[in-house]
Amino acid sequence: MARVAVIGAGTMGHALALVFALGGHQVRLTDSSEKTLARAQGLMEKALATLVANGEAPAEWTSAHLAQMVTRHADLAETVDGAEVIVEAIIEVPEAKRTLYAQLAECAPKDAVIASNTSQLDVFPLIPEALQARSMIAHWYTPPYLVDLVDVIPGPSCEPALVDKVHTMLAEMGKQPLRLRKFVPGYVANRIQGAIGAEVQYLLEEGVASAEEIDAAIIHGLALRLPILAVFAKADFTGLSLSQSILANGSYTPPPPRRQSAVLDKLVAEGRTGVLSGAGYYDWDTDAEKLFETRDKKLIELKQALRKIGTMAGLERDQ
Ligand SMILES: NC(=O)c1ccc[n+]([C@@H]2O[C@H](COP(=O)([O-])OP(=O)(O)OC[C@H]3O[C@@H](n4cnc5c(N)ncnc54)[C@H](O)[C@@H]3O)[C@@H](O)[C@H]2O)c1
């Protein structure tokens, strides 16, 4: 059991605290917002209850047990006191992260590993020299208690033994750590998701299909094969000479890069900012908690089915 400090208790932080606790670690959680730190307890309890009810966490994981495993602290120094691993999950704002790392250089235990959950921002230039040898990125996907991939990227002068330590810790928690050779914004999965995002905006803006129709094409066309074959195994099944011809014909051209979308701007201007506002591309029920619970239950059912079915691609390939 390691002592883990999670800094930032927002969308990711509260869920990461739960994941590390479920992984057998003693967690301290903090946030600069008192309100967010208070809200984190209910969010963790709700997610935990869904996991227990669906067989993804043992029944002894009651709210009382959670309260023993994850404690909340207003003070940063108290949060990181005695920590072996410090998880940075604060807002993706360079100055906020720079300030926090400067504070950590003062108050973090000298041998603590520091792992940032940054999505796109290269945090390494923001980290003081004193912390460089112990700094890395461990990037999770939401909800991290269900999505197992964790991108692990060592800082430029991070000690390799510490990267091994975090890799082993994550694997022992049942996660799928993916160690990348160097930092690239968005890592692997989010870059591919970014390319899909650019493509769907293009199709929508050009009036090729509606949001619902594009989602239907993804669900019924793209998504079914992905968990079994991913991309390279699917290409092997298609036949690589077809891939070669498609490249040679130049028949696919990516959409021109854009920094704005008229459709997106209109939705946001109308206050349709996503499930928390009750609407986005779709109209949603106003009970966001219920929506998250429904999403989690469906993801659990899919995950359990996929565990049985297995995959013909990737690191756990069966045949
Ligand atoms: N939301 C996602 O799906 C997702 C997925 C992977 C990675 N990330 C990354 O994780 C990080 C956090 O993202 P999020 O979505 O949880 O953001 P969020 O806005 O929900 O939460 C960030 C929290 O950080 C707190 N905070 C800000 N400065 C702080 C400080 N100095 N000390 C302590 N707390 C502080 C804020 O009060 C806020 O509650 C970002 O780097 C983001 O890119 C997000």
Pocket test for ligand 1, best of 6, 7, 11, 183 (most atoms within 8 A of CB): 11
Q: Which residue's CA lies nearest to atom 31 of ligand 1?
A: 100
Query: Each residue of 191-221: b (16+ CB within 10 Å) or e?
Result: eeeeeeebebbebbeeeeeeeeebeeeeeee
Count of beta carbons in the 10 Å neighbourhood of residue 148: 16
Determine whether 147 is exposed, middle or buried from the number of CB atoms within 10 Å of its CB (0-12, 13-18, 19+).
middle
Q: Examine the domain organization and report whether 253 and 207 are in the same domain.
A: yes
- Answer with the one of 179, 201, 234 that is the final residue of a domain: 179
For the cut 90, the answer to whether the pLDDT of residue 238 exceeds it is yes
Ligand 1, pocket residues at CB < 6 Å: 7-13, 30-33, 36, 89-92, 96, 100, 117-119, 139-140, 142
* Mean pLDDT on 58-73: 97
Q: Examine the domain organization and report whether 246 and 106 are in the same domain.
A: no
Per the omega criterion (within 30 degrees of 0), is the bond before 143 cis? yes
Q: Examine the domain organization and report whether 172 and 221 are in the same domain.
A: no
Q: Examine the domain organization and report whether 152 and 250 are in the same domain.
A: no
For the cut 90, the answer to whether the pLDDT of residue 316 exceeds it is no
Distance 30 CA to ligand 1 centre (A): 11
Count of beta carbons in the 10 Å neighbourhood of residue 74: 11
Q: Examine the domain organization and report whether 207 and 90 are in the same domain.
A: no
pLDDT (0 to 100) of residue 209: 98
> Whole-model pTM above 0.75?
yes
With respect to residue 164, please indicate whether it lies within any of the assigned structural domains: yes
Q: Tokens representing 64? A: 């009382």
With respect to residue 206, please indicate whether it lies within any of the assigned structural domains: yes
Q: How many Å apart are CA 22 and CA 30, to the nearest integer?
A: 18
7-16 tens-digit pLDDT: 999 999 999 9
Q: Which residue's CA lies nearest to atom 32 of ligand 1?
A: 32
Q: Examine the domain organization and report whether 30 and 172 are in the same domain.
A: yes
* Mean pLDDT on 237-265: 93
Q: How many Å apart are CA 8 and CA 88, to the nearest integer?
A: 7
Spatial neighbors of 218 by CB under 8 A, at least 6 apart, are: 196
Q: Examine the domain organization and report whether 9 and 77 are in the same domain.
A: yes
Q: Tokens representing 171? A: 């694997």
Q: Examine the domain organization and report whether 127 and 173 are in the same domain.
A: yes
Distance 8 CA to ligand 1 centre (A): 6
pLDDT (0 to 100) of residue 183: 92
Judge contact between 44 and 10, C-beta under 8 A: no
Question: 288 falls in which pLDDT band (50, 70, 90)?
Answer: confident
139-197 tens-digit pLDDT: 999 999 999 999 999 999 999 999 999 999 999 999 999 999 889 999 999 999 999 99
Distance 286 CA to ligand 1 centre (A): 24
Q: Examine the domain organization and report whether 63 and 106 are in the same domain.
A: yes
Q: Which residue's CA lies nearest to atom 37 of ligand 1?
A: 33
Q: Examine the domain organization and report whether 112 and 261 are in the same domain.
A: no
Q: Examine the domain organization and report whether 142 and 288 are in the same domain.
A: no
pLDDT (0 to 100) of residue 319: 81
With respect to residue 319, please indicate whether it lies within any of the assigned structural domains: no
Distance 13 CA to ligand 1 centre (A): 7
- Answer with the one of 149, 179, 209 that is the final residue of a domain: 179
Q: Which residue's CA lies nearest to atom 38 of ligand 1?
A: 10
Cα–Cα distance list, 269 to 12, 22, 28, 265 (Å):
26, 40, 38, 6
With respect to residue 130, please indicate whether it lies within any of the assigned structural domains: yes
Q: Examine the domain organization and report whether 109 and 203 are in the same domain.
A: no
Distance 14 CA to ligand 1 centre (A): 10
With respect to residue 315, please indicate whether it lies within any of the assigned structural domains: no
Distance 86 CA to ligand 1 centre (A): 14
Beta bridge partners of 139: 151
CATH number of the domain that residue 216 is part of: 1.10.1040.10
Pocket test for ligand 1, best of 6, 91, 92 (most atoms within 8 A of CB): 91
Q: How many Å apart are CA 41 and CA 73, to the nearest integer?
A: 12
Which atom of ligand 1 is the closest one to the Cα of 140? Answer: 6
* Mean pLDDT on 208-231: 97
Number of structural domains in the chain: 2
Q: Which residue's CA lies nearest to atom 26 of ligand 1?
A: 90
For the cut 90, the answer to whether the pLDDT of residue 289 exceeds it is no
CATH number of the domain that residue 62 is part of: 3.40.50.720
CA 169-175-176 angle, to 5 degrees, is: 105
With respect to residue 314, please indicate whether it lies within any of the assigned structural domains: no
- Answer with the one of 120, 153, 179 that is the final residue of a domain: 179
pLDDT (0 to 100) of residue 67: 97
pLDDT (0 to 100) of residue 286: 84
Distance 39 CA to ligand 1 centre (A): 14
Q: How many Å apart are CA 157 and CA 136, to the nearest integer?
A: 9
The boundaries of the domain holding residue 223 are 189-309
Which atom of ligand 1 is the closest one to the Cα of 7? Answer: 33
pLDDT (0 to 100) of residue 315: 86
Distance 319 CA to ligand 1 centre (A): 40
Average model confidence (pLDDT) across the chain: 96
Q: What percent of the chain has pLDDT over 90?
A: 94
Which atom of ligand 1 is the closest one to the Cα of 92? Answer: 41
pLDDT (0 to 100) of residue 318: 87
Distance 274 CA to ligand 1 centre (A): 17
With respect to residue 136, please indicate whether it lies within any of the assigned structural domains: yes
With respect to residue 317, please indicate whether it lies within any of the assigned structural domains: no
Q: How many Å apart are CA 16 and CA 26, to the nearest integer?
A: 12
Judge contact between 109 and 78, C-beta under 8 A: no
Q: Tokens representing 40? A: 């984190």
